[in-house]
Structure formats: C-alpha cells, structure tokens
Structure 1
Amino acid sequence: MFRHSFIKFLAIGVINTLIGLSITYTCLNILGLHYWASTFIGNLLGACVSYFLNKRFTFQSKAPFMGSSFRFAIVIILSYFAAYKIGLELVDEIVMLLALPTGYIEEIAVLFGAGFYTILNYLGQKYIVFPEKYKQGPRSLQ
C-alpha cells in the first residue's frame, strides 16, 4: 500500500512541483523576492492544489475539512521550514567544502529543499493529515 499511494503522491506532486517551482523561481529571479519569501509563496500555492488532489485521489480520504486542513497546514509548515533550511545549509556546506562558485547557492538549494519537502510532506499527509481511519471505499469516488 505504501508504494501505491506514494506513486500517486508523486504523480500529483508533478503538478504541484510545476506550479510551486515556477512560482518560486519567478518570485526569486523575476520579482527579486528573498529566498524565504519566494519558496514560501511557491509552496503555498502548490500546497493548495496538493491538499485537494491528494485528499481525493492519493489517500481517498473522508477526513473533515476543518480538522484535516488544520493538520495539513501544520505538516506543510513544518515540512517547509525543515526541508528548505536543510537544503540551504547542505548546499552552502557543499559549496564551501568544494570551493565552488557561490552564485547559485539559493537556486540549487531550492531543488534540494524540494526533494526533502516531498518526503516529509508525504509522510505527514499519509500518517497525520489523512490517516487510514478516514479512508473511503472505492465506490465513494464515483
């Protein structure tokens, strides 16, 4: 079951990634916003799409909106700060250790952060936001 829901999560994540990263890079490089503002805005909009698509298709959940949306927001916020902080610190350390040019640290850190975010977000949604007790049967999706 883990593999099946994770594959659906990844497929829906492609949509979220296209939306989130497009907005993040637009904010960062075109609008000139700070790293944290850019990643926050991109992830916020991607998260809205993620909530509705994952609730219905990935986890087939009947969890009430108020409770699940609150848990979702907590998972998203914690995943966001943990993942993008780790991504930024990791890339910064690698660049310094290898004496690489520092011009694209934030752009590369966004990609590392997105990978960490995906893993943390999936685990949080699966076990905290849309746990098995709210799973709906296959007929209720029709």
Structure 2
Amino acid sequence: MARPKPFEIIVPCAKLGPSLRYVLVGCVNTFVGLSVIFFCISWVAMPPIAANVSGYAVGLFVSFLLNRRYTFRSKIPIAGVWRFLMIMLLAYCINVLVVLAATAWLGFGDYIVQILAVASYLIVGFLGNNLFVFKEGEYEAK
C-alpha cells in the first residue's frame, strides 16, 4: 500500500482534478498572504504598501510551491518560479484590463466587475501554468 503524501493527509480532497486543486491552492495562498499582510501591519508596524508587497510575495511563493507539488504534480526546479511569476503577472494585467473594460465600456456594477476580473485571473493563471509553467515532461532528466 502506497504511503499518502503529506498534503494529501492534510487535504482529504487531494484526488480532485487540477482545476479544482488550483482553486483550493488559491484559497490557501490568499489566506497565507493576508496573514503576512496583517502580521506586518500589526506586529512589525510596516506601512500598508510594504505589508501588501510582503504578503503578495509570500503568497506567490507559497502558490508556486503548492501548485508545483499538489496541483500539477510537477518536478520542475525551484528556478522555474520565473515562468510562474510571468504568468501570474500576465493574469493580473488581464484582471486589471477586465476591470477597466467592464467598468468603462459595459457599465457593470463594482461587484460584477470584480467577479469577472477574478474569473479572468483564475482562467489565465490556470491555463498559463498548465500549458507553460508546469508543462509535463519538459524538465525530465535527459
């Protein structure tokens, strides 16, 4: 009998498909990022922008590690984080464009705009990571 991986013990839904695991990892890294932001503001007395940058940096790194091991079960080296950061930056830029377009041209309300923006971020992030960052077999030993 195969021994379960540590994350599969903690998260019983480890058998989910990659897209649902991606959303779950997003929830975890959001919690981690917000925790770092609140810690930096409360305990370290950082200014809000510096705390925000710190929280996002930690959240992105946690996201990379969890997506690498759990979502895509990839063996890419840690150095692959640069591809990940490029995709997440692209996803964020599209998120902002959706906010601007849905507000200016479509006249949608603030909440609908944010839902559309988050959906675009999730879709671009998942597809980019699946097709470009954690591409199966690309980092296998030759």
Cα distance in structure 2, aligned partners of 1:125 and 1:57:
13
The SS at the match of 2:74 is coil
Change (3 A) 1:19 1:121: same
Report the number of matched residues: 114
> Residue 86 of structure 1: which of 68, 87, 98 is its match?
98
Q: Distance in 1 between matches of 2:68 and 2:132?
A: 12
Gaps in structure 1 of 5+ consecutive residues: 24-30, 137-142
3-state SS of 2:75 partner: coil
SS in 2 for 1:94: coil
Distance 2:54 2:97 in 1: 16
In 1, the alpha carbon distance for the partners of 2:57 and 2:113 equals 18
Describe the superposition over 1:73-117 as per-residue Cα deviations: whole angstroms up to 9, x where unpaired.
11111111112221232133333xx7x6xxxx4x76444322210
Once the two structures are aligned, what percentage of the paired residues are identical? 28
- Which whole-Å CA distance do the structure 2 matches of 1:135 and 1:114 have between them? 30
1:13: Cα distance to partner? 1.7
Matching residue's letter, 1:117: Y
Q: Secondary structure at the match of 2:125?
A: helix
For the residue of structure 2 that corresponds to 1:87, the secondary structure is: helix
> What's the RMSD between the two structures over aligned residues?
3.4
TM-score, structure 2 normalization: 0.62
Aligned partner of 2:132 in structure 1 is 128
2:65 maps to 1:61: no
Instruction: Identify the residue that residue 73 of structure 1 maps to in structure 2.
Output: 85
Higher relative contact order (CA 8 A, sep 6+): 1
2:61 is aligned, of 48, 61, 74, to: 48
Matches of 2:115 and 2:32 in 1, distance apart?
14
CA change 1:89–1:43 in 2 (3 A) is farther
- Matches of 2:48 and 2:28, distance apart in 1: 24
Q: Tell me the TM-score normalised to structure 1 length.
A: 0.62
Give 1:45 deviation, angstroms: 4.4
Alpha carbons 1:62, 1:134 under 8 Å: kept: no
